[in-house]
Amino acid sequence: MSCPCCSSHNHHHDECCADENCCHINPEEEEKEERKEKIRNIVLLIWGSVCLITAFILQKVDARYIDISWSLFSDVNFYSSLSFIAFLLYTVGYLPLFLTIGKEALEEIKEGNFFNENTLMLVATAGAYAINEHPESLFVVLFSIVGETLEDYATSKSKRSIKKLVNNMPLYAHYIDSDGKVIEKEPEELQIGDRIEIRPGEKVSVDGRILSGKSSMDLSSINGESLPKDVTEGDYIYSGSINLSSLLVMEVGKEFKDSTLSKIMELVENQEEKKAKAEKFITRFAKIYTPVVLIIAISVFLFGFGFSNWSWVNGGRDWLYKALSILLISCPCALVIAVPITFFAGIGSASKYGILIKGSIALENLSKTTTIMFDKTGTLTKGKFALINKPDKEAHHIAASLESKSTHPLAKVITESYKGDLYQVEDLENNPGYGIKGVINNETYLIGNKAFLEKNNVTEIKEEETPFKVLYLAKQNGPFIASFIVADEIKEEAIEAISSLKKEGYQKTVMLSGDDKRIAEDVALKIHLDEAQGQLLPDEKLEVVKQAANSSSMVAYVGDGINDSPSILAANAGIAMGGLGSDAAIEASDIVIMDDNLKKVAEAKHLAKKTMTTAKVVIFTSIALKLLFMILVVTGLLGKFAMIVSGLSDTGVMIICVLIALSMSFYKPKYLKKQ
């Protein structure tokens, strides 16, 4: 489809326009154009196929004219034969396809891309038509559409699966009017100073200050902070964070367009505009293959014509025939269908294992990456908390009993980690943001932060030297009992996944986190990463990824949160953990891991490399066999059978290459259990 600002004409806008100032087509308009193009291709495919099959049958039925050549047009009887009808059908079948490809080739030439797959097809098929190989010329262009349609189908299938993952949490505001009535409003309608309610489980729509209430906020999708943050009256909270426990009333501090969430999405949009769009593998190959083939064909003709003393009758015509035979042999039929089938099969195989790949460019880029960067929370870790130390059993029993009455995320960790009956707690007193007080067996116990215990006259608290969240247990006015260290759990497969990625050729593994630097370094050490950076804001993460991507290495970035979206876009290959990942990350990515299994990142890399190897084998096989037949034609070893063998060789090479390409359909995973 055509990009309105650059007039580039490619099958997909997202593969044509590398200009960072290029305007972007409305997604609905782009989808509409793609649908129209698919319908056009189907119509052309059906029309061309009907013409080809009918003409071929008519030509075989007509015993008088087995071959249709230009010399037959001087025979009056030819015009009343079935072979003439066959010729017309070949022509009317080929012509619309020729014009369609010609239009695409012309628009690419206008953009300076003189040698592309469309140019090669035009020259080769026009040459075949000129030397009376009408079925061959129609056959090649038909199969080019089949190849394109198959690859588009695989890409569209991945994109449809990705859309199913996107399930936006409603982003709206519960506006409190002057009468105290709560009304649902769009975030864009809110003004600075307005009051809104934020209910448990809701995503905050705009930035603002808490007027009343105490709660815990999940900030992981905004800054990567794994532990919830306790907030109370007077605290400032940010859009995109999620209220975990209690009702809050907030005063709007910024309009929606200036809020934290909007700024992150703006980073995504800006990065999307700046990201250069790579060319398809087959397009880049055609830039080399097309001129080489043309030069060989022209050189053969000129050399032979000169060798014949520039006599058309005494050799010139034969050498033109040989040159056109070379064009016919070099016809890219095997390439324009087998290479897309390779990607089609590779993308299809990936989807069987829950790896969704958005097209051949994404797959190729992933195969080339040598540095891989990760977000921490929700990517390398589970995004949920666990007790990482082992306190005394009786202390754990008391702590779990106290925390069983709280809805705080850390309280749930302590309660759920204790297996057994709980004590009955009397006179329970919950102090949000500080801790809990309660009576068990006539003794008053406290659990909470250090300041809470000190306020209740607990001395000699053994403070833990750890970056993780700590809750302390003690008796009121009495001794300190135990501490409980809570941290985000590392995924079980993380160590094995990082090891597998290094086997796949990654020279550097890096973690970029918004979490505390010490926490980031601790996780990196445990799973054997090469480097870790903590306390990074989304724009700082983005800058690190951009610098790495602009260096000599190709970069993959794996993330799951809204804050990861700009970095996912900036990477050469952006990977989203789709099971629990944010919609923004999934939309921004090139590859989606549907169930958050880290081992699938290594599997995706392995599959991408294998697909690219298969594509290169297809190209090498095609060129090697075609060169062999070219030599046979030029040396005259095939004699009068040159053209027949040329036609058969093209079909034969195509079948061989398609079989090689289809081998990717039988891909067996290296790092996953067979499914």
Catalytic sites, residue numbers? 375
Which residue shows structure tokens 């247990």?
Answer: 473
Which H/E stretch holds residue 624?
A: helix 599-634
Geometric angle at alpha carbon 590, from 587 and 596, rounded to 5°: 80
Spatial distance between the Cα atoms of 350 and 357, rounded to a whole number of angstroms? 7
Instruction: Answer for the pair 257, 284: CB distance below 8 angstroms, yes or no.
Output: no
* HSE-CB of 324 using CA atoms within 13 angstroms: 19
Instruction: Answer for the pair 606, 668: CB distance below 8 angstroms, yes or no.
Output: no
Spatial distance between the Cα atoms of 529 and 522, rounded to a whole number of angstroms? 10
> What per-residue string of b and e applies to 137-165 under the rule 16 or more CB within 10 Å gives b?
bbbbbbbbbbbbbbbbebbeebeeebeeb
> What per-residue string of b and e applies to 67-82 under the rule 16 or more CB within 10 Å gives b?
ebeeebeeeeebeebb
Q: What is the sign of the dihedral through the CA atoms of 645, 646, 648 and 652?
A: positive
Geometric angle at alpha carbon 5, from 289 and 257, rounded to 5°: 125
Spatial distance between the Cα atoms of 333 and 657, rounded to a whole number of angstroms? 10
| Distance set, CA 241 to CA 168, 208, 219, 237, 547 (Å) | 14, 12, 5, 8, 28
Task: Classify strands 469-475 and 480-490 as parallel, antiparallel or unpaired.
Answer: antiparallel
Provide the token pair at 124: 């080769």
Q: What share of the chain is helix, strand, coil (3-state, %, to 5)?
A: 55, 15, 30
Spatial distance between the Cα atoms of 288 and 296, rounded to a whole number of angstroms? 13
> What per-residue string of b and e applies to 617-633 under the rule 16 or more CB within 10 Å gives b?
bbbebbbebbeebbebb
Angle between the N-to-C axes of helices 360-368 and 333-352, in degrees from 0 to 180, rounded to the nearest 10: 80
| Distance set, CA 124 to CA 121, 133, 178, 308, 403 (Å) | 5, 11, 76, 25, 77
Give SS3 for 591: strand
Spatial distance between the Cα atoms of 507 and 529, rounded to a whole number of angstroms? 11
Spatial distance between the Cα atoms of 162 and 176, rounded to a whole number of angstroms? 37
Spatial distance between the Cα atoms of 117 and 121, rounded to a whole number of angstroms? 6
